[in-house]
Structure 1
Amino acid sequence: MSADEVPNALGMLHAIANGQDWTTAGLPGGNTIAVCHDIRTYYEEAALELVDGPLPGGRAMEDWFFDRTEAGATVLAARAAIRDSGGKFPIWFYMTPGQR
């Protein structure tokens, strides 16, 4: 997924979080895991460009993404919606790190 596709992919995840069937949402490649990892990578790379001073610690970027951005909240909400709709474990669980 290219950087230009990130906003559209987030829109699809938002739709899933709000009730759209994830199997018909049109996610790029149809792969929930790859889409979520690409979105997170995009945000983390952009954030690293903004860091002034020492680089963040181990899980600081992950915490920032999931706890402080709308994109992270959208990924978590879509993950919960897929889980709650009966999606198979590997489809939703690996959309985020396991402890999420």
Structure 2
Amino acid sequence: MPTIKFKGCGDSIHLAKNSNLTELDNSSQQELMFGCRAAACGSCAINVLEGIENLNSKNAKENHLLDMLCMNGDTHRLACQCKIHGNITIESLS
């Protein structure tokens, strides 16, 4: 099971491979806020510090919103659009 580590608090959680990061919403260790869950609000913006290769690629909708938020760097993602394939370390940007 892949591990998601949170930079700020040092907590970590395990999710099944190919899970969406929105599943963190049901965790008592949640470090992310989720709003629309549809790449429309940006409340779940994250910076991927390690393991960016362990996430699915950005889609057009995610790229568009990140551009609008001036956050479309290589490591910026919307957690609601991320499917996890391996270990990652993230920090919330919201």
Query: Aligning the two structures, in what range does the TM-score lie when normalised by the shorter sequence?
Result: 0.3 to 0.5
Larger Rg belongs to = 1
- Structure with higher strand content: 2
Normalising by structure 1, what TM-score? 0.31
Normalising by structure 2, what TM-score? 0.33
Question: Larger RCO: Structure 1 or Structure 2 (Cα < 8 Å, ≥ 6 residues apart)?
Answer: 2
